[in-house]
Structure 1
Amino acid sequence: MASILEIKDLHVSVETDQGAKQILKGVDLTIRQGETHAIMGPNGSGKSTLAYAIAGHPRYEVTSGSILLDGEEVLEMSVDERAQAGLFLAMQYPVEIPGVTNANFLRTAKTAIDGEAPAIRTWMKDVKAAMKDLRMDSSFAERNVNEGFSGGEKKRNEILQLELLKPKFAVLDETDSGLDVDALKIVSEGVNRAKENTGLGVLLITHYTRILRYIKPDFVHVFVDGRVAEQGGPELANRLEEEGYDRFLTVEA
């Protein structure tokens, strides 16, 4: 049976210099495995806050609501337990990890998620095949995680993790930012492969429609001021490209 990720009446605050500020103001969203949901909206509308709340970032406090994965309360899980349950976050700004090679990082992560270490021979074959698909030179396996990587290389490295760790749901936080056309196609192909091979459910956060030409959404949700202002099918993304967000912002004003 396909897994379901349910976000119910989610309210999230973040601590600022002026005190706690409410960012999400009651978000409802249901994602099934195999579906792609695009989250779009202007800057400051709460898109990344949703991603961090799902992943369990300590700075983001869920003040009410729930996040359920197959009926289990995600908010009661630690960050590593969320990963083991099948949640994955591709960060907008992937961090560098000096002193830890990509190869060691990937195998350690796979072992932690599966509860047992993968067989070396099979694992290395899988890693090399995934790197080849993502046009990553084999030398990246022995380089420290994201250290000295270009923006596009960091994003490809995120998708390498996605393909090898095989989560149930992936939250892609502006994975398209900073990518040229070639890198965008390669990253998109990786996401589509993961979806085809494992039935991955995708929550794709983006400002622009260009990545949606390569990763086709089943549903589009427009975030404005911490809420879902409108939702629909792929045609909604096309309308946003033509009209922008002005009509939502005018209503909010």
Structure 2
Amino acid sequence: MSTLKIENLHVSIGEKEILKGIDLVVNTGETHAIMGPNGNGKSTLLSTIMGHPRYTVTQGSIYIDDKNVLEMSVDERSKAGLFLGMQYPQEIPGVKTSDFLRAAVNAHQEKPVSLFKFIRMLEKNIDELHIDENLAHRYLNEGFSGGEKKRNEILQMKLLQPKFALLDEIDSGLDVDALKIVAKAINDMQSDDFGCIMVSHYERLFELVPPTHVHVIVDGKIILSGGKEVIEKIDQEGYEWVKKLGVEIAGEEEKKPILLENCANKERIKSK
């Protein structure tokens, strides 16, 4: 079993503090749902764990077992077992999806995976995710629909086999059938060697991928943790009830696409 431990995490963008003391422990074998109004720190938490340069950690710690995540570069965090499924996957013209995926897989191996073995892995997972096989030969996410981009994120997760997957609204942009496919892929990953943090606004995802723990983030703090009953309350009442706890809901922050340094891109550049 591995443990992702976050203690007293404070994170700022410039002079604005976004996270104001997050404490969270996630073990492999667990699935944690993160909910809360827009602009209150959910995506910031996942991006900070993965190492987004926009966010500055001013206090606190993040550890995978005995490894200090905050001392790692983005590619080192990936190799340590972290994976971020982005809410807004980036288009990368000129980089074929299959080349990107193979470089990412090889970056996690002591010895490069043979082309034949990689193709077998890729074809198997593409088939399971009902992805058009032609997408693998197109530039990464370029011209992909929203649903295709999200399934491509899950494809990366399945190929990389992380210890902890951080899934940021992986259900947005998916129709009902695609959501079921993605949910099945996440459920198939469940094991004593895999932990997951999922951010979503919708009960539907959590019906298909039942979380073991549920947390509500408001104004940069986890104000409540529990089980399925928390999701049901939010679905029925929204977030107005949190004001009864003496908590003010922060205003919605404009969402921006996440840009991350990527180990696959670095490996591709090195090989030139």
Which residue does 2:85 correspond to in 1? 90
Q: Is the 8 A contact 2:2 2:193 kept in 1?
A: no
The aligned amino acid for 2:92 is I
Structure 1 residue runs without a partner (length 5+):
none
Q: Is the 8 A contact 2:9 2:19 kept in 1?
A: yes
Which residue does 1:24 correspond to in 2? 19
Structure 2 residue runs without a partner (length 5+):
249-272
Aligned with 2:112: secondary structure?
coil
Aligned with 2:190: secondary structure?
helix
2:42 is aligned, of 39, 44, 47, to 47
The CA deviation string for residues 122-170 of structure 1, in whole angstroms up to 9 with x for no partner, is 2211110100000012111111110100000000000000000111000
2:235 is aligned, of 233, 241, 249, to 241
Identity rate, percent: 52
Distance in 2 between the 1:121 and 1:249 partners?
57
The aligned amino acid for 1:134 is L
Aligned with 1:221: secondary structure?
strand
Distance in 2 between the 1:183 and 1:224 partners?
30
Distance in 2 between the 1:6 and 1:65 partners?
11
The CA deviation string for residues 214-245 of structure 1, in whole angstroms up to 9 with x for no partner, is 11100000000000010001221112111211
Output aligned runs, 1:1-150, within 5 Å: 2-15=1-14, 20-150=15-145
Which residue does 2:211 correspond to in 1? 217
Aligned with 2:118: secondary structure?
helix
Deviates more, 1:182-191 or 1:51-60: 182-191
Could you tell me how far 1:119 is from its partner in structure 2? 2.0
Q: Is the 8 A contact 1:37 1:204 kept in 2?
A: yes
User: Greater relative contact order: 1 or 2 (C-alpha under 8 angstroms, separation 6 or more)?
Assistant: 2
Distance in 2 between the 1:232 and 1:186 partners?
27
Say what the alpha-carbon RMSD is for the aligned residues: 1.1
Distance in 1 between the 2:126 and 2:181 partners?
11
Deviates more, 1:57-66 or 1:185-194: 185-194
Distance in 1 between the 2:228 and 2:193 partners?
20
Distance in 1 between the 2:184 and 2:141 partners?
21
Aligned with 1:27: secondary structure?
strand
Distance in 2 between the 1:230 and 1:53 partners?
21
The reply on whether 1:227 has 2:226 as its aligned counterpart is no
Could you tell me how far 1:249 is from its partner in structure 2? 3.5
Could you tell me how far 1:195 is from its partner in structure 2? 1.9
The reply on whether 1:181 has 2:176 as its aligned counterpart is yes
The aligned amino acid for 2:196 is V
Distance in 2 between the 1:27 and 1:123 partners?
39
Distance in 2 between the 1:219 and 1:77 partners?
27
Q: Is the 8 A contact 1:224 1:249 kept in 2?
A: no
Q: Is the 8 A contact 1:107 1:117 kept in 2?
A: no
